[in-house]
Amino acid sequence: MSRGRRIRLVLGYDGSGFHGFARQEGLRTVQGVLEDVLLRMLGTEIPVEGSGRTDRGVHARAQVVHFDLPYGPPVERMVHVLRRRLPADILPRAADEVDEAFHARFSVVRKTYRYTLDLAPLPSLYWYKFSWHVPEPLDLDAMKEAAKHLLGEHDFTSFCAAEAPQRDKVRRLDRVDFRRDGSRLHVEFEGNGFLQYMVRILVGTLVKVGRGKESPDRIPDILEARDRRLAGETAPPHGLCLWNVEYPSAYGGKVIDLSDDL
């Protein structure tokens, strides 16, 4: 069968009802649901490749996938057709046709993750699935000071799961920003790659600093030690969202604009 057209699809999803992105036998996953829908649409199996895996309970504003279609609807109809067939907790946002050299994962230049903290005395009825409720006061200045030490290229062994599959744990963080939105605090991380649980452990460590239980100046020592036990707790998955994915300019850069829509 001819490979046909390579389609790049941008998806958003509420991760609450999924056991992560990657297909797992007997479990509901984003990749599994999408591949099943394509199978029913086209009558043939269409493998889907993602820009990366999100864990169980983690959300996405802009997950990117690609797949090869030997036939099927025109690309300008793809979003409309899939919206009618996918469940409400997966939202296809945009689709375009790319050349066969494009790969949703291996062509990535940078990714942005956003973690949301709910700092209100009581958890929000509308945000409880998308934020970590931390009701005690946090020292935001101390958290910002700690975050400065994370910028640049480092070995992030101390800030990833002990069982993380990647052997090379050197990554580059280009940006850590803090944004207040009422009682919510959004922490955005932009970098060239992220390890398993890395953002959640970074957030847990920054919250530890904000609570006054760790000094911002300790961050370089924690990085240098390459010891997971020295970093903070792993923040809950439901506060984390894959916010954006960036590709080379030939493929349009960031896949969606930076305006808030969550």
Binding residues for substrate: 113
Three-state SS for 28?
coil
How many Å apart are CA 207 and CA 17, to the nearest integer? 26
- The yes-or-no answer on residue 55 being catalytic is yes
How many Å apart are CA 140 and CA 185, to the nearest integer? 10
How many Å apart are CA 220 and CA 158, to the nearest integer? 11
Residue with tokens 């924690």, as numbered in its chain? 222
Radius of gyration for the alpha carbons in the chain, expressed in angstroms and rounded: 19
Q: CB-side exposure of 213: number of CA atoms within 13 Å?
A: 13
Of 55, 89, 96, 139, which is the active-site residue?
Answer: 55
Q: Which two tokens stand for residue 240?
A: 């984390």
How many Å apart are CA 73 and CA 81, to the nearest integer? 8
Element (H, E) at 80: helix 75-85
How many Å apart are CA 70 and CA 90, to the nearest integer? 24
Q: Which two tokens stand for residue 44?
A: 């043939």
Residues marked as catalytic: 55
